[in-house]
Amino acid sequence: MVTLENIFSHWVTEKYLQRSGIHHAVTVAETAFSLARERGLDTEVTTKAALLHDIGHYEWYTDGEWDYDEYRKHDIHAIKGAERAHKLLIRLGEDRVKAKEVALAILLHTDSYLPFSVEENRSPVQAVVAEADTLDEQEGGLHHYKSMDKMEALQRLQQLDQEIFLSQDINVNIF
Ligand SMILES: [Fe+2]
Ligand SMILES: [Fe+2]
C-alpha cells in the first residue's frame, strides 16, 4: 500500500506542497480522516486526497503579498492538482482506481474556478475533502502561511497511516 509517508517523502510533494503550506495539508488530512471514519467512508482515499488537495497551487503571491483578485482570475489549482497528484500516485505504484478517486476529489474540492457549483453533486468522499478544507480556511488565505516543521508533519502522517490501517482492519472484520 502507498502510505501518506511515501507520498510526503517524494520529491514532487516536497517541491509543490510547500507552496500552499504543509500545515494546511496535514491539518486537512487529519480532519478528513476523522470525518471519513465517522461516516464509514474509505479513510485511505479520503485522507490521501485531503493531504494532496492543494498540490496544484502555483506561487500566487508577489513580494510576499497575497493578491486574492489576481488569484481568482487565473487560478486552476484544482485541475493542476488533480493531474499532479494522479501522476505522483501512479509513479509510487498506487492502485489506478484509488488514484482516480483521489484525483477527482482534488478536482472537485473547490468550484471557485468553475462557472457552476458542484456543491450538490459531490460524492460523500469528495464532500469530506471539501468540508475539511473549508474548516481550516482563514480569511485572506492565512491558512497557507501557518508553518509546520517537516519532522512534525512526518510524525503526524505516520500516526495517520496507522489509524488508516486500523480503520480498514475494522471494516474487514465487520464485513
Ligand atoms: Fe484549494
Ligand atoms: Fe486548501
**CA–centroid distance, residue 174 to ligand 1 (Å):** 35
CATH number of the domain encompassing residue 39: 1.10.3210
**CA–centroid distance, residue 17 to ligand 1 (Å):** 11
What three-state secondary structure class fits 61? strand
Give residue-wise pLDDT tens across range 85-99. 999 999 999 999 999
Give residue-wise pLDDT tens across range 17-72. 887 789 999 999 999 999 999 999 999 999 999 999 999 987 656 666 667 777 77
Owner of C-alpha cell 482506481: 97
Which grid cell is 147? 508553518
User: Percent of the chain scored above 90 by pLDDT?
Assistant: 75
Domains: count for the chain: 1
Question: Looking at the DSSP assignment, which residues form a beta bridge with residue 65?
Answer: 62
**CA–centroid distance, residue 146 to ligand 1 (Å):** 15
Asked whether the beta carbons of 123 and 107 are under 8 A apart, the reply is no
Domain range spanning residue 34? 4-174
**CA–centroid distance, residue 110 to ligand 1 (Å):** 6
> Which residues have CB less than 5 Å away from ligand 2 (the ion)?
54, 133
**CA–centroid distance, residue 57 to ligand 1 (Å):** 8
| pTM score | 0.92
Burial of residue 69 (CB within 10 Å: 0-12, 13-18, 19+) is exposed
Nearest ligand atom owner, CA of 108: 1
Nearest ligand atom owner, CA of 51: 2
Band of the pLDDT at 143, cuts 50, 70, 90? confident
